[in-house]
Amino acid sequence: MPTEALRKKAQQLDSEDPLADFRNRFEWPQPKGVPSIYFTGNSLGLMPKAVRKAIQEELDLWASFGVEGHFEGPHPWYSYHQDLKPALAELCGAMEEEVTPMGSLTQNLHFLLANFYRPQGKRTKILCEGSSFPSDFYMLDSQVRWHNRKAEHEIVELHPRKGETFLRTQDILSQIEALGEELALVLMGGVNYLTGQRFQMQEITEAGHKVGAIVGFDLAHAMGNVPLMLHNWNVDFAAWCTYKYLNSGPGATAGLFVHKKHHGNTPYRLEGWWSNKANNRFKMERKIDPETSADGWQLSNAPVMNMAAQRVSLALFQEAGLDNLHKKREALNLFLFENLEALKALFPNEGLGSLTPDDLNHRGCQTSLVCGENGRALFEFLESNHVVADWRWPNVIRVAPVPLYNSFSDIWSFFDITRRFFVSS
Ligand SMILES: *Cc1c(COP(=O)(O)O)cnc(C)c1O
């Protein structure tokens, strides 16, 4: 029986894990009085315990100082977003002046496309994943409509080959080349939300630029998950949300990246008073003095209460160290593969498999398990055994063991519960 050996291995790996204690810095949901096995950090990251105090401090400032809170305390509201930038820049491999926390993901994509999608002459088409997150499709469709064009003409979707579950890099690059001078924009996820496939962002960017297109990424499932080097990869722009792997709470302030090469050259950028240079902002002059860095994409004053959660969470990433997190992510992946293979060997007829590439450079934390006919019943059994995972019809269970707070034993428990389901069904 491999499962006892794997249980021991999980304990061993946990005891050697330098990040093991970080799980105690988070609140663990206990909807039924028992701590969950939480595998949905790809959907809503857990709450860092220190968030309560950080938000309370801002509330106290507001109570004690009113409007003067903008210039009081250790993190004055006036420049609050600045405190988040070093960590955000490190997470996406950017210069600090290339990133800013702001808005929501879908809003930010709209703002970015206002400047970076300018269909003209032959160059009108957008290339995206065929399994994009629906919001990204709606965003793209409405952008195209807004330019008085038709989505069915302008949007080209990438689909895996028949019988395959994820896209081949070569097929993406060929499609870019084939679209050539008709291609205005490539907009893809960094990591696909459904399959967990990590795209080869550098190669895609190079191929897009070669035909004269702009290349942007939706990093909803990539920020805080996989290594990113947006600046060196020469990516034009990117946006992300922070409630998934970045543990900043529901609807938390999102963020964006604009490559330095575009700073000062974004004529169609939509602006507000926070696009004005900070030192002149409160002069309230009729004519804008535009901030050319990524900060100039902000329109409005910063939502401080919810940035407080992000500040605390980003500090945890810095404390843990990105290299350590990536190492552990890969080790969690390998241990998951080992458990999955052991279970498939025990129950070869249950239709268990994965949509996600096995290559560690083509995936992040997430594995999208596919199940046989009993998939939904398995999912419900997992739920009743305190596993929090994510179900997608018709037969996908997404699990994302994240290195900041998941353990090797969490993975073992997940597969042991699955084993018990197969034994009893
Ligand atoms: C989670 C997610 C979104 C959600 O958009 P919001 O504007 O944050 O509500 C959009 N796109 C992708 C790819 C996502 O994974």
Distances (CA, A) of 69 to 65, 78, 82: 5, 8, 16
Q: Which atom of ligand 1 is nearest to the CA of 221?
A: 15
Output the CA 109–ligand 1 centroid distance in Å: 10
Output the CA 300–ligand 1 centroid distance in Å: 21
Distances (CA, A) of 338 to 18, 42, 375, 381: 21, 22, 20, 22
Within this chain, domains 3-49+323-424 and 56-319 share the same CATH topology = no
Output the CA 104–ligand 1 centroid distance in Å: 9
Other residues' Cβ atoms within 10 Å of the Cβ of residue 348: 9
The residue among 229, 128, 260 whose CA lies nearest residue 184 is 128
Residue nearest to atom 13 of ligand 1 (CA): 133
Instruction: Report yes or no: 108 and 239 within 8 Å, Cβ to Cβ.
Output: yes
Q: Which atom of ligand 1 is nearest to the CA of 136?
A: 11
Burial zone of 164 (CB within 10 Å; 0-12 exposed, 13-18 middle, 19+ buried): exposed
Say yes or no: CB of residue 129 within 6 Å of ligand 1: no
Q: Which atom of ligand 1 is nearest to the CA of 189?
A: 13
Say yes or no: CB of residue 136 within 6 Å of ligand 1: yes
Say yes or no: CB of residue 218 within 6 Å of ligand 1: yes
Amino acid 215: pLDDT: 98
Q: Which CATH architecture has domain 56-319?
A: 3-Layer(aba) Sandwich (3.40)
Amino acid 23: pLDDT: 97
Say yes or no: CB of residue 106 within 6 Å of ligand 1: yes
Output the CA 349–ligand 1 centroid distance in Å: 36
Say yes or no: CB of residue 291 within 6 Å of ligand 1: no
**Residue 133 and residue 260: Cα distance in Å, rounded?**
28
Amino acid 31: pLDDT: 84
Say yes or no: CB of residue 220 within 6 Å of ligand 1: yes
Backbone dihedral angles phi then psi of residue 237, each to the nearest 5 degrees:
-155, 165
Say yes or no: CB of residue 238 within 6 Å of ligand 1: no
Q: Which atom of ligand 1 is nearest to the CA of 244?
A: 1
> In a mutational test of the pocket of ligand 1, which residue from 135, 136, 193 has the highest number of ligand atoms less than 8 Å from its CB?
135
Output the CA 219–ligand 1 centroid distance in Å: 9
* DSSP class per residue in 358-423: SSGGGB-S-EEEE--TTHHHHHHHHHHTTEE-EEETTTEEEEB--TTT--HHHHHHHHHHHHHHHH
Running DSSP on this structure, what letter comes out for residue 292? -
In our burial notation (b when 16+ CB lie closer than 10 A, e otherwise), range 119-135 reads beeebbbbbbbebbbee
Residue nearest to atom 10 of ligand 1 (CA): 135
Residue nearest to atom 14 of ligand 1 (CA): 220
Say yes or no: CB of residue 105 within 6 Å of ligand 1: yes
Instruction: Report yes or no: 108 and 88 within 8 Å, Cβ to Cβ.
Output: no
Q: Is residue 34 helix, strand or coil?
A: coil
The residue among 35, 42, 11, 17 whose CA lies nearest residue 411 is 11
Say yes or no: CB of residue 104 within 6 Å of ligand 1: yes
Q: Is residue 218 helix, strand or coil?
A: strand
Residues in contact with 100: Cβ distance below 8 Å, sequence separation at least 6, in sequence order: 81, 85, 255, 256, 293, 294, 295, 297, 298
Amino acid 3: pLDDT: 85
Q: Which atom of ligand 1 is nearest to the CA of 107?
A: 7
Say yes or no: CB of residue 103 within 6 Å of ligand 1: no
Q: Which atom of ligand 1 is nearest to the CA of 43?
A: 1
Instruction: Please report which helix (H) or strand (E) contains residue 126, including its range.
Output: strand 125-129
**Residue 117 and residue 214: Cα distance in Å, rounded?**
8
| Tokens linked to 77 | 């509201």
Running DSSP on this structure, what letter comes out for residue 116? H
Output the CA 101–ligand 1 centroid distance in Å: 15
Domain boundaries, the chain: 3-49+323-424, 56-319
Beta bridge partners of 137: none
Output the CA 319–ligand 1 centroid distance in Å: 27
Q: Which atom of ligand 1 is nearest to the CA of 251?
A: 8
Residues in contact with 85: Cβ distance below 8 Å, sequence separation at least 6, in sequence order: 96, 99, 100, 101
| Tokens linked to 137 | 């499709």
pLDDT (tens place) for every residue of the chain, 425 residues total: 568 999 999 999 999 999 999 999 999 999 888 889 999 999 999 999 999 999 999 999 999 999 999 998 889 999 999 999 999 999 999 999 999 999 999 999 999 999 999 999 999 999 999 999 999 999 999 999 999 999 999 999 999 999 999 999 999 999 999 999 999 999 999 999 999 999 999 999 999 999 999 999 999 999 999 999 999 999 999 999 999 999 999 999 999 999 999 999 999 999 999 999 999 888 889 999 999 999 999 999 999 998 999 999 999 999 999 999 999 999 999 999 999 999 999 999 999 999 999 999 999 999 999 999 999 999 999 999 999 999 999 999 999 999 999 999 999 999 999 999 999 98
Q: Which atom of ligand 1 is nearest to the CA of 106?
A: 7
CATH class for the region spanning 3-49+323-424: alpha beta
